[in-house]
Amino acid sequence: MKYIEKSISCDKEILDIINYIQKVNPDVSDIIQLLGDKNISFKKANTTILHLIDKDTAAKYVSLIKNDLSKNMCYVAELNPGFGILTRELLKAGVPLIHLYESNLGLHKILEIICTKYPEKLKLISFKSNLFGITRAFYDDKATKKYQDSFKAIESKNWEDETYMQIIGACDDANLFTFIIQNLIFRNGFMFYGRPVFYIAILPSVWNKYNILTSLNKYTYTKVMFKLMFNYELLGTLSREAFIPWPKKKQYKRNPTILSAKQNYEQLYVIKLEPKADIYTQLSSKDWIIFSYFVRHHMQKRCNRVIPALEKWIPGCGIKLIAKDYTIYTQFGDLTPTQILELFKEFKSWPDYKESHFIESMKASVGAHNEFEFLNE
């Protein structure tokens, strides 16, 4: 797909967007000018970066999050603020200072104008990469350092303290939760300086994927980690049409897929997502990394049986597991996330654990840091 570089009269999608803006936000003429500017590029094929264009939707967004957000606004970060429509509504709601992270440098001009109108209330931070959209590049050391440097001015906090940053934005990336989970496991990215909280608009399919654990194809490694490591809440819904670029419709043959896609075309879910403050009372930071491998390895197939799987690492351990009420038929898919965590603690407590082949296998896997295995589970 090409970037949108032709005049607006030559592009039906842009004309449709302009007509929509004139209907829902007629006083924002600067947006229409920007959409017709050949120097502003909105990549049709990449809907990961979403920009809000409807002020009524922006007001609804803020109404969904403001009560909780107002409890702690020590460092409010709006990702991809775009045209500043949500920014204005956040200021109206009483947010004292908003840090704007916009990766599209072509939009900085309009954001600079807004910053001038609200001195000492807005800070525009130049960052060339989308903080919600570098899931694969993140595993490069240089990308990691660059990512964390963007937050280095923030005061770090102890993990169990209140959140150090409040992140607001919208993302159309199906791998977003996977990326955030990886941040937490390795304590980098968003998690490097403390515990953040996210107030984000996401695809309904992403939310549904992480809240349905019973299906054979749905109960996977990332769902287990998500349930154990995060508190989460669905706050409300927004119109997908209020965000650009608009998604491209595809043809699906299966009814469940059709229903899921239809929901994605029509809505975004606003959620609150916050890492649990007490996760390090369960396991140490290092042990969470080890546990993540334990889960990923054994949840490759939901039907993997517990006793035979662990017997491969520590021969003869089945007797200990039977004493804990496991049977030779117990599958990993039969266990809740909490039960899987307790199984790992039991496994790690055995004297033979430190000399087991599991340690070698884990070190080889974690050392390789294979992001594609993580993202394409």
The torsion region of residue 194 among left (phi > 0), alpha (psi -120 to 50) and beta comes to left
Burial class (CB in 10 A: 0-12, 13-18, 19+), 369: exposed
Packed helices 55-69 and 85-92: angle between N→C axes, nearest 10 degrees: 40
What number of residues does the chain have? 377
CA dihedral 211, 213, 216, 220 (to 10 degrees): 90
Residue 1 burial (CB count, 10 A): 8
Q: Which two three-digit tokens encode residue 355?
A: 């000399």
Q: Kindly report the CA angle at 154 between 152 and 156, in degrees rounded to 5?
A: 95
Amino acid at 296: R
Sequence letter at residue 212:
I
Question: Binding site annotation covers 102?
Answer: yes
DSSP letter, residue 153:
T
Structure tokens at 252: 């699906």
For residues 61 and 89, is the Cβ–Cβ distance under 8 A?
A: yes
Q: How far is the first Cα of the chain from the last one, in angstroms, to the nearest whole number?
A: 28
Is 44 in contact with 1 (CB distance < 8 Å)? yes
Q: Is 52 annotated as a binding residue?
A: yes
Beta strands in the chain (DSSP E): 51-52, 76-79, 98-102, 122-126, 165-170, 196-202, 230-239, 243-244, 267-275
What are the binding residues for S-adenosyl-L-methionine? 52, 102, 149
What are the binding residues? 52, 102, 149
